[in-house]
Structure 1
Amino acid sequence: MKQDWWKEAVVYQVYPQSFCDTNHDGIGDFNGIRSKLDYLKELGVNLIWINPCYQSPMVDNGYDISDYYQVNPMFGTNEDLDALIQEAKEKGIGVLLDLVVNDCSDEHPWFQKAVQDPESEEADYFIFKTTEDGQPPNNWRSNFGGPAWTQVPDGRWYLHTFDKRQPDFNWENPDLREKLYNMVNWWMDKGIAGFRVDAITFIKKDLTFASVPTPDGSLYQIENYQNYPGIGEFLTELRDRTYGKRNAMTVAEAVGVSMDYFPDYAGENGYFSMIFDFNWYDMKGEADKSSKEAVHRWRQKMFDSQEQISSLGCWSGGVLESHDEPRGINKFLEPKDQSRTSAACLGTIYFFLPGTPFIYQGQELGMTNSVWNSIEDFKDVMVHNRYRECVENGGDTEALLQELREYSRDNGRTPIQWDDSEYAGFSDTEPWIPVNPNYPQINAAAQQGDPSSVLSYYKKLVALRRDPKWKEVFSEGKFIPQREAEDYLIAYRRVLEDKTAGIFCNFTGKAQTVRVSEEVEEILLNNCDNLEQEAGTLTMAPYQAVVLSLK
């Protein structure tokens, strides 16, 4: 394969707990993923990214790893995963695994030994501090709420960027780094296609560990230390010692990386093949997401980001939703505007931007946020930490609950809806997290044979993105945004030599007339039954999206 093969890939993200259960315990497993490989092949994707599946107490849904070399028995065995990797490869689908190396579980043997013996080699694999007054070493706040420090019985404090049961590694220790590199190479030897790299911008710390004054005396959000100076040395070494020696794809979750540093992370000789572009990832803060002002702001953020990334010669991963986010149809559309047509329009908007498109499981069905009646319904540790903090501080718990219903990560973690049988065909027993009540209406079985379904449209999206005639236009072509377009219109062109693809999306519930300066040669994709054309104009139905070959 050519070195940048991943530029022409389409990736499907699998959250294994919620994908397909074959051993009747209400939890998805490797054999469940294997059973759906033909579904994924028919969808057209050529890569699947599997969220953490390593040994873990599952405090943070698998991101707290207690053994990097063993898979979690709830998903199956190492041999089951090997079989999945091999069978997927035979079907033309590569497997990406999650790489989590900022922190591990407090049940990892290294941390257990570090707590038991302050003089052990493992004690320096983590960040321990001792204070004279017995108080936390500084005022840093964990991303999951509360102090970023937890005390062990002998009085030492250890640092955790996330939950207290996820101690951070000390990347300053070369012996630790060597062990991590050995682990990465061990997994690469199994024939995986690469990694999605988790929370990687946190691995370099401010070694002064100084407190930061805050106006109200509150804790200082530790995420302000993302991409800390000096991190490049670690990331260069990680790349050169592991996946950089192989024809692998790596996509990093690199929140906090500004455009100034984008080339370091995802340029021609970057630390990774790509990083996710989160600059237009949601419409938070918009009182009415359907207003022309909100759509305009979102369009400008998208275009600004894509133009900058392209001008820098960098590559990004394009996403609408993930396991860490609510459903895309809820993030970008008001309830009155959510439909099969608008879901297809939303998919079209991002699918042909520069970068590699990612589809999150269930997105191709138009799955929506679920229903959460009380705090007990939620499973996410971050939700419960925030709620506890709110109670302790005398906050408005009902207001917080309303926010969580809309933005909780659990919205993206409900079981994928395969059919209208009990538990949505995900399992024959009660799942680990409740199925969305709308599964009788939204499910794969109902959409499979329906040419007007969201699933059928996503198959067309993937087919066009990977079409031999057009794939280089979408992977290599110039990105030309139509900034002065009509209100509610999100339009851009991809141009390579004598080929031009025009993407036109009417992102509103009203019909509108759109100006097109070029001659329309062919309609490559259309989420509606027809398209009204006159000389120089298109009349687009509400939430209509088209991809046109332009002359």
Structure 2
Amino acid sequence: MTKKWWHDKVAYQIYPKSFCDSNGDGIGDLPGIIGKLDYLQDLGVDIIWLSPCYPSPLADEGYDISDYYDIDPRFGTMEDMDRLLAEAKKRNMYILMDLVVNHCSDEHEWFKKACQDPEGKYGNFFYLRDKKEGELPTNWRSYFGGPVWEDLPGTNKQYLHVFHKKQPDLNWENPEVREEVYKNINWWLDKGLGGFRIDAIINIKKALPFRNYEPDREDGLCTIKAMLSEAKGIGEFLGEMRDRTFKKYDAFSVGEVFDEKPEEIPDFIGDNGYFSSMFDFNETIFGESDKGWYDMRQITPDDYKKCCFEAQAKVGDMGFLSNIIENHDEPRGVSRYIPEGDCCTESKKMLAALNFMLRGLPFIYQGQELGMENVPISSIEEVDDISAINEYQVALDAGLSVEEAVKVISKYSRDNARTPMQWTDGANAGFTTGKPWLKVNPNYTDINAAAQQDDPDSVRSFYKQLIALRKNPEYKETVVYGALEPVWEEQHNLMAYYRKGDKTLLVIGNYQKEEQAVTLPSAYKKVLLNNYSDIAQTDNTIQLHGYQAVILEM
């Protein structure tokens, strides 16, 4: 593999609306982020990915963009963005933005022009079909529920939206659309951006010609994935985008890629891949059900281990995965992957170690380094997330009680990741002096950055140690490029693997609250990291405490 500047980096995702509010309006902003760069530098972060901060009506919290060349006034100004880029550069940090180009907002000028003249240039920027009474162009269900077709205002046509109805899909078959996208990407890269995280990109290629599929629910619609599984030729678009944009700047790009076929992995992230990296979603999609969230299967420690190892084996040394525990679209990882009732400092550190030492690029989501947890929800009235509101209704329609439906939403809602960052134990967790746009998790008095920053035993300090190990010249080559070999795979509630390069490291996590033993093949040289103060050992047998994680040099 050709070595790249970003291979040994550590990335951190910021959800700007919830990170830090500098002006007391209850919404996080760019000056707030600038004020926390030293906090991130102290942690060891090199790459910062900002979720969308472009102008947007916020139908899908900024993933509906009305202007690709500006900053939403809620978050600040373009001058603030320029200052953020300059301040990051001073600290040898790179800023990524979200590239959301499967769709734009229905308030974007392109869509407005398409409504005015559907037969004109901008009508062809979208997928428009003539409206037929009592019949939809296709029976596809959008990701947020309901049909993917909506009436085009003031016309006798309908437009396609695979997400929210305020997110009309862009017609990538039209070369003029692609030109506009590339022009915008290069404009930002010229400005000094380090690269992009690419949103929902698999959706840009539709299976043509459009047709109906077998319905899979009572609503007579079918999952959008049925169409996507038949779509061929996305590589032509992605290869063109790479060559016209990222490649010219040696920019970093990470794709949100779902449902890729194993044989396509080298095309996506090989030496001349469409992207620098792509996220591993093996763990996040585990247990999904076509019926909805209420029917999702709970992931167990053994499932989690299997998901991680499958993803690692699939990619091997072909390229670099980006490894996550959580992001803005997922519940908090510690609440999802640690068995119910077992969330504690030790188990959070164990999960961190097992994820962080995998081969690939580690991404930390804001608050993950503190061990932030899911927020208690007592009523649907408290929920902001549109997908959660849809899934609540799906659960009720399936016969669940209101209490049961709320419990489902509490577990999987995207609001869990979007509650304000917990900086201090003061008012509103130190996020804002005003009224926060989304309620603060009441556990902020116990879980906050101020309490953890100087505590050597805190979750944050453990993340800092993991980052330092990744960057340590003595171990960097092994941690970044070394092979990953699972060990003791059959042992229940134990996840362990070697990282083998110029050194041999052994990562072991006891994924349960009960103790269990492992016998090492030989004596170890050194303990590099341990989430307890001791290792209980007889000869080469280690008696692991509940949720103990150790990283050993063999």
Q: TM-score, normalised by structure 1?
A: 0.95
Distance 1:389 1:530 in 2: 49
Structure 2 counterpart of 1:236, one-letter code: G
Equivalent residue, structure 2, for 1:247 = 250
Task: Determine if contact 2:252/2:276 at 8 Å carries over to the other structure.
Answer: yes
Task: Identify if the C-alpha distance between structure 1 residues 484 and 501 changes in structure 2 by more than 3 Å, giving closer, same or farther.
Answer: same
| One-letter amino acid of the counterpart of residue 310, structure 1 | G
The offset of 1:237, in angstroms, is 0.5
Moved more, 179-188 or 150-159: 150-159
- Equivalent position SS for 2:213: coil
Q: 2:315 aligns with which of 309, 320, 345?
A: 309
The farther-off stretch of 473-482 and 128-137 is 128-137
- What residue is the counterpart of 1:222 in the other structure? 224
In structure 2, what residue type is equivalent to 1:221? T
Q: How far apart, CA to CA, are the structure 2 residues paired with 1:32 and 1:298?
A: 35
Pairing of 1:449-528 with structure 2 (within 5 A): 449-484=454-489, 486-497=491-502, 499-528=503-532
Which position in structure 1 is the counterpart of 2:350?
345
Alpha-carbon contact 2:396-2:405 (below 8 Å) kept: no
Equivalent position of 2:361 in the other structure: 356
- 8 A Cα contact 1:489 1:505, kept in partner: yes
Deviation sequence 1:41-79 (CA, Å, 0-9, x none): 000011111000101011111000000001111000011
Greater mean deviation of Cα atoms: 479-488 or 52-61? 479-488
SS in 2 for 1:432: coil
Partner of 2:291: none
> Residue 135 of structure 1 corresponds to which residue in structure 2?
135
Structure 2 match to 1:297: 303
Q: Which of 438, 444, 448 is the equivalent residue of 1:439?
A: 444
Alignment match, 1:238: 241
Whole-angstrom distance in 2 between the partners of 1:59 and 1:281: 24
More deviation in 533-542 or 523-532? 533-542
Unaligned runs of 5+ in 2: 289-295
2:437 aligned partner, one-letter code: W
TM-aligned CA distance change 1:485 to 1:137, over 3 Å: closer
SS at 2:537 equivalent = strand
Please tell me the residue identity of whatever aligns with 2:306. Q
Given residue 90 of structure 1, which amino acid in structure 2 is its aligned partner?
A: K
Instruction: Indicate conservation of the 8 Å contact 1:283/1:332, yes or no.
Output: no
SS in 1 for 2:70: strand
Matches within 5 A, 1:114-263: 114-133=114-133, 135-152=135-152, 153-214=154-215, 218-226=220-228, 228-263=231-266
Please say which of residues 106-115 and 265-274 is displaced more in the overlay: 265-274
The alignment's C-alpha RMSD in Å is: 1.8
State the match for 2:390 in structure 1: 385
CA contact 1:143–1:223 (8 Å) conserved in 2: no
C-alpha distance in 1 between matches for 2:19 and 2:507: 32
**Secondary structure of the structure 2 residue equivalent to 1:187:** helix
TM-score (norm 2): 0.95
In the alignment, the residues of structure 1 paired with residue 205 and residue 306 of structure 2 have an alpha-carbon distance, to the nearest angstrom, of: 32
Q: Kindly indicate whether residue 410 of structure 2 is the aligned counterpart of residue 405 of structure 1.
A: yes
Distance 2:196 2:255 in 1: 8
Match runs of 1:9-48 below 5 Å:
9-48=9-48
- Which deviates more, 476-485 or 65-74? 476-485
Task: After TM superposition, give the deviation of residue 303 of structure 1 in Å.
Answer: 1.2
| Change in CA separation of 1:511 and 1:86 when aligned onto 2, cut-off 3 Å | same
- Paired residues, number: 543
| Pairwise CA distance, 1:512 | 1.3
Q: Give the conservation status (yes or no) of the 8 Å contact 2:304–2:337.
A: no
Q: How much has 1:518 moved relative to structure 2?
A: 2.7
Residue 532 of structure 1 aligns with which residue? 536
Question: Kindly tell me: are residues 34 and 123 of structure 1, through their superposed partners in 2, closer, same or farther at Cα, counting changes over 3 Å?
Answer: same
Once the two structures are TM-superposed, the CA of residue 141 in structure 1 deviates from its matched residue by 0.5
Give 3-state SS (helix, strand or coil) of 2:7's partner: helix
Task: Give secondary structure in 2 for the equivalent of 1:186.
Answer: helix
Letter aligned with residue 481 of structure 1: P
> Once the two structures are aligned, what percentage of the paired residues are identical?
45
Amino acid at match of 1:123: G
Residue 287 of structure 2 contacts residue 298 of structure 2 at CA under 8 Å; is this kept in 1? no
Task: Describe the superposition over 1:65-121 as per-residue Cα deviations: whole angstroms up to 9, x where unpaired.
Answer: 000001111000011011001101111111111000000000000001101111221
Residues 1:421 and 2:422 aligned together: no
CA drift at 1:125: 0.3
Contact 2:207–2:228 (CA under 8 A) maintained in structure 1: no
Q: Tell me, in whole angstroms, the C-alpha distance in 2 between the residues paired with 1:547 and 1:388.
A: 45
5+ long unaligned stretches in structure 1: none
Q: Deviations over 1:15-34 (max 9, x none)?
A: 00000000110000001001
